Structure 1
Amino acid sequence: MGVAAVPAQAVSVTLTCDPSETVNGANLQAAVANPANDEVLLPDWCVFTLTSTSAPFDGLAPIARTLSIDTVSGSNTATIRRSPATGTPQFRLFDVITGGDLTLNNVTIQNGDVTSDNISGGGGILLQLGGTLTTNNIHVQGNTGSALAGAGGLALRSGTATLNGGSVTDNRAPTSGAGGIFNLTDTTLNDVRVSGNRAQDGGGILTSSGLLTVTDGTISNNTASASSGGLFRAAAARVVLDGTSVTDNRVTSGSGGGIRSGAASPSSTMTIRNALIAGNIAADGTNPSGGGLWVSAPSPVIVDNTTITKNRTVGQSGRGGAIAQTGSGNLSLTLQNGTQVADNTGSGQYSQGGGIYRSSGGTLTVSDTTVSGNRVSGTGAQTGGVYNLGTGVTFTNTAISGNTSPNAPAPGGLYTNNAITDGGGNSVTGNIPTNCTFSPVIPAFCTLP
């Protein structure tokens, strides 16, 4: 009669906190490298400073097993960082590879640097094919991504990732994309703050594939030099922003201050619901577009019960202080269910559409939405409310009011050179200098002058 196999017992190791941070770092490297360890517990408030690599560009050994790292208390934090000393080699802190299932709780990850890793990026954490990453209340701070592959904080290239609580702050990808998070897979962010990151494109987050779901999150104060200060959606990425604030992000020389939807797949939808898009800026010498939201490619964008307010374009010929829908192909944008486009500004000579600017093909469908208190300023600026150059526009239960432009001939409320389909319940009232007068086409629902 055979003897039943005895399941292997999980091994938990508790590290001590030495007065030397580098001794702590070496002890952590040994604990992670030991395949027998399933759990590593860190003393509260201890700092673990790594000075050497365990594999090329990896400070800790690549994770190919189930491993959990937490603090002893399960609530206070510990810090894992790459040494800031001159001469420290470049490496990230964590690399989850095939077969790896890493859970990180209550740790701060700092100062990773993979500037010369032109393949993967991820100064703090890299998630690869077949890996799983789960985090609870971790903070990814001050890491630097690849010069070519980007991803200052986290490179989520494959597998599955779930981040609960915590923050991704002050990371950078100075000559490429994704200062905070680069995403290519199915990723969920719950109550995560992405703030103060910097990149060429996608200062906070750049997602190019998979489904990114951000719930009750904050994307704020991120900066891009070329496109999309907060969130850049590209390629075939699907995105859901639910109850999330996208605020005070900035593009210094481009478009899409808060969000850019540049995804080209008509089957990949971006949904923004119960959200706030506020205080974002798209600045450029000429033609900045979409202070809050820039829709520049055909993948549909649905904005539901969302407030878009106090965003700006800054520069000559700015387009859409709040929203710009521009680009080639059949672009699709829907605003619905109590969405408010309010108090946004296009500032600069010849700016157009303080609230909404549209010059694309495809569709713009607006229902149960208000466009109010928006303005354009500067010589030759036109139409504080909605400026439309395209076809395929439908308004239902939409109110355009209290928007302002400089002196006539420029309507303050609505300018359109094509007919707008009237679904009923629409109004254009109280705009300065006129509601629709001087528009090439004046819809029947517009109050004159």
Structure 2
Amino acid sequence: MTALRILAGATAIATVTTAFTAFTAVPTAAHTPEHVQCTTSALTAAITKANATGFGELSLAKGCVYDFTAPFSGDDATPPITVPVTVDGNGATLRRGTTANLFRLLDVAAGGRVTVSNLKIENGNVTDDGGGVLVQNGGTLHATNLLVKGNTASNNGGGIENMGTLRLIRSRVIDNDAARSGGGISSEGAASIISTSIDGNSASRFFGGGVFNDNVITITRSSITGNRVTEGDGGGLWNNFQMTVNDSKIVDNTARDHGGGVTNAQLGRATFNSSTITKNTAGLQAGGVYNVDTGAYLVLILSSVTKNKAGSAPGGVFNDTGDVVVNKHSPITGNLPTNCVGSPSPVPGCTG
């Protein structure tokens, strides 16, 4: 397996804890939000002004399509945000024009703390990371009702590349593509995903058609469906550090190689609570879950791994040299060609 950068456990967890602790809601302004006219120049000017004054509260034109034909600078349609800013999208869309040069739509830089709602981000395209959205190290994005659709990255994070702190609530990350890892979301920072759909994304090579995680991530009441890796592992989810999935569905994802639903690799610690991993497909092994590498640790609690398929056994759960803990109320059944038979190491609680 390709070697990846791995964060030292204690340092990473301390960093993530600090990041979440440091994040506070953007202060409520005493003045009326600035209404941004339906032009890309007006939006660029509003963000520039916010960066200069140290704070911004923006209300976008209702239903407006801010159709960018050229970047503000480099890979960014708008200025990188470096201060606390709230954005009421009012159903507006930030979109890269189909004939425009390559750039993303939103960049949250170090010091930027962006709270956004009711906004769509579409058709970004970059030769680097984060086709639609980039959250840099030291930046924070808290988004509610955000749609990230149809964006492309030539590296990682077709929809979103997170290197800072990301929180998505009642959002959708759909139909994005990364040439390497993290078709929907690539996260190397702290992430929390709540009541969100991550659907129909693809990673062309390596890992994580839906989500690639290399830090600490929590996914709650969300759906990871119809994602794919065309050359690699982890059609739905790929975890390299610490992932907790609560009351969520991982369904109909595909990996050409291993882990149609989930790959938990290297120093991965993956815990699934009251979740469903079903109808996923892998070309080689582990249509459901691929637990691989020394130190990879998998826990299933009140979760099911059912009706997954693989090209060769096992079709349900593959355990290489890692550790697997299976709760007795976590059925691994109906997988093809086997549930766990063919796994190099036993999968406790699994038969067939």
Q: Which TM-score applies when normalising by structure 2?
A: 0.81
Which residue is 2:344 aligned to? 389
Distance 1:29 1:298 in 2: 42
Which residue is 1:295 aligned to? 264
Q: Secondary structure at the match of 1:333?
A: strand
Match of 2:237 among 259, 262, 267: 259
Amino acid of the residue matched to residue 169 of structure 1?
K
Change in Cα spacing, 1:386 to 1:247, as seen in structure 2 (3 Å) is farther
Match of 1:344 among 305, 308, 331: 308
Cα deviation digits, residues 280-302 of structure 1 (max 9, x gap): 1111xxxx111111112123111
Shift, 1:177, TM fit = 1.1
The reply on whether 1:332 has 2:310 as its aligned counterpart is no
Which residue is 2:10 aligned to? none
Higher helix share: 2
Shift, 1:46, TM fit = 3.3
The reply on whether 1:78 has 2:69 as its aligned counterpart is no
Match of 2:324 among 354, 359, 364: 364
Shift, 1:143, TM fit = 0.6
* Alignment RMSD (CA, Å): 2.5
Distance 1:192 1:9 in 2: 28
Q: Secondary structure at the match of 2:259?
A: coil
**Does the aligned pair in 2 maintain the 1:356–1:387 contact within 8 Å?**
no
Shift, 1:255, TM fit = 1.4
The reply on whether 1:162 has 2:142 as its aligned counterpart is yes
Q: Secondary structure at the match of 1:365?
A: strand
Which residue is 1:380 aligned to? none
Match of 1:355 among 312, 316, 329: 316
Which residue is 1:305 aligned to? 274
The reply on whether 1:192 has 2:171 as its aligned counterpart is yes
Q: Which TM-score applies when normalising by structure 1?
A: 0.65
Shift, 1:307, TM fit = 1.0
Cα deviation digits, residues 317-351 of structure 1 (max 9, x gap): x1111111122x22211112x2111111113xxx1
**Does the aligned pair in 1 maintain the 2:271–2:299 contact within 8 Å?**
yes
Change in Cα spacing, 1:330 to 1:179, as seen in structure 2 (3 Å) is same
Q: Secondary structure at the match of 1:150?
A: coil
Distance 1:299 1:58 in 2: 33
Match of 1:181 among 135, 140, 160: 160
Q: Secondary structure at the match of 1:26?
A: helix
Distance 2:296 2:71 in 1: 47
Distance 2:225 2:79 in 1: 37
Amino acid of the residue matched to residue 142 of structure 1?
N
Distance 1:40 1:233 in 2: 31
Which residue is 1:93 aligned to? none
Distance 2:314 2:47 in 1: 55
Task: Give 1:47-196 correspondences, 5 Å limit.
Answer: 47-70=65-88, 75=90, 77-85=91-99, 88=100, 90=101, 113-114=102-103, 123-145=104-126, 147=127, 149-158=128-137, 159-173=139-153, 175-196=154-175
Which ranges of structure 2 fall in alignment gaps of 5 or more residues?
1-28
Amino acid of the residue matched to residue 226 of structure 2?
D
* Identity level (%): 28
Shift, 1:188, TM fit = 1.1
Higher relative contact order (CA 8 A, sep 6+): 2
Which residue is 2:210 aligned to? 230
Which residue is 1:46 aligned to? 64
**Does the aligned pair in 2 maintain the 1:358–1:387 contact within 8 Å?**
no
Shift, 1:11, TM fit = 6.5
Which residue is 1:204 aligned to? 184
Which residue is 2:5 aligned to? none
The reply on whether 1:25 has 2:45 as its aligned counterpart is no
Amino acid of the residue matched to residue 344 of structure 2?
L
Match of 2:245 among 265, 272, 290: 272
Cα deviation digits, residues 57-98 of structure 1 (max 9, x gap): 444344445544446xxx4x233444445xx5x4xxxxxxxx
Q: Secondary structure at the match of 1:177?
A: coil
Distance 1:213 1:9 in 2: 29
**Does the aligned pair in 2 maintain the 1:372–1:385 contact within 8 Å?**
no
Amino acid of the residue matched to residue 247 of structure 2?
N
Shift, 1:220, TM fit = 1.1
Moved over 2 A (4+): 8-17, 24-71, 77-85, 383-388
**Does the aligned pair in 2 maintain the 1:277–1:292 contact within 8 Å?**
yes
